[in-house]
Structure 1
Amino acid sequence: MPILDLSIDTLLTTTRSVRKRLDLSRPVEPGVIDECLELALQAPTASNSQSWHFVVVTDPHQRQALATIYRKGAERYRELMTPVYQKRAAASEQEARTVAGLLDSGQYLIDHLHEVPVHVIPCIQGRTDHLPIVAQSGTWGSIMPAAWIPS
């Protein structure tokens, strides 16, 4: 697989879903994971709280277990979204192609998630289900920037 000389800005503004182009058989060095986590820890948080942690999963059995959980959620999501997807697909040939691509890409993730060599799971302390929406947004706003940080 060729390595492209792209700046971070170019990479982030020209690259969409890459899940089908990743080499899932290539191991990820622990130093790369550490560097990514160091960058993630620089992300802003609500009230400067840093009430987060990251779970790094490399064990194949645990990755398979996570993929099984994801698959169950994805199946439920697809059931809920089928009427929406059908309506979108009926709108035009272009939308039908877009929906087909979305479904195909999503299925690829479901089928191959267990092969991803490292799963980094962002976690935040506490629960949000009892909080008002404004407090929930602060909580989720404290972890999402860290989860998105590119490396």
Structure 2
Amino acid sequence: MSDSEGRGTSGVDDELSLPKATVQKLITEMMPDDIVCAKDTRELLIDCCVEFIHLIASEANEICEKETKKTIAAEHVISALQSLGFESYVEEVQEVLNDHKEQQKQDRDRKSTRLENSGMSEEELLKAQQMLFEQSRLKYQEQQQ
């Protein structure tokens, strides 16, 4: 694909890139203090990461389609890693997935606990919310005049 076909000068479409600051932070954390990473090297790493993501996503999509599913699930990504020969990543990916699921559960529990601890019924909370919205609207209208 040429530059005129939508790819940037680094070879990666801007929409399909990774945040440069995030990549720089990862590189800095992974490299010894006495090693410096050149800009073109960072761009090459970004290109490689994007290609890796495309490869895994494409394989996960094929696995998903074979199962006649419409949504790629984490299990499809893990299967893709295995089928593409990246078995060494599976254990760490599974740990991250488990941590993510646990964090989501804790977030849901924390939200429901706050609701329960409010001492108000759902109807009372809704009424209070509507009243706050109305107060906010009135305050905004006053500021506009």
TM-score, reference length from structure 1: 0.27
Q: Which has the higher strand share?
A: 1
Q: Which has the higher helix share?
A: 2
Higher alpha-carbon Rg: 2
Higher relative CO (Cα under 8 Å, sequence separation at least 6) belongs to 1
TM-score, reference length from structure 2: 0.28
